[in-house]
């Protein structure tokens, strides 16, 4: 049988990959998708712990993460749409007026 470590390491790796996406991509949609990837990596740890500790609480937590992720994606995409209407661009590095 697989030990819990393996699931955790897998999810850490996926999480780190998601972080790379957030940091280096220059497309807001892909950044948002990378965030979804990170959330799912966390979900994986929840489920793994739930299984290995024998508690459904982890699964319930995933349920809530999904609800929050859905809300986050919806709002994020709505913001992206309105930003795109104004700037004709999805590059976050072109949107840096909000300083000083």
Which residues in 27-46 contact other proteins (CB under 8 A)? 27, 29-34, 36-37, 40, 43-44
Backbone φ and ψ of 99, nearest 5°: -145, 165
Site string for other proteins, 42-81 (x = CB under 8 A): -xx--xx-xxxxx-xx-xx-xxx-xxxxxxxxxx-xxxxx
Q: How far is the CB of 77 from other proteins (least distance, A)?
A: 5
Q: How far is the CB of 70 from other proteins (least distance, A)?
A: 6
Q: Does 86 bind other proteins (CB under 8 A)?
A: no
Closest CA to 50 of 67, 65, 72, 34: 65
In sequence order, the 6+-apart residues with CB closer than 8 A to the CB of 62 are 43, 46, 47
């Amino acid at each position: 049988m697989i030990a819990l470590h393996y699931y955790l390491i897998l999810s850490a790796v996926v999480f780190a990959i998601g972080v790379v996406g957030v940091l280096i991509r220059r497309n807001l949609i892909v950044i948002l998708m990378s965030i979804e990837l990170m959330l799912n990596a966390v979900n994986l740890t929840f489920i793994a712990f739930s299984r290995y500790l024998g508690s459904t609480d982890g699964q319930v937590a995933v349920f809530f993460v999904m609800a929050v992720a859905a809300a986050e994606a919806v709002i994020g995409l709505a913001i992206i749409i309105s930003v795109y209407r104004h700037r004709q661009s999805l590059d976050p590095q072109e949107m840096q007026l909000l300083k000083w």
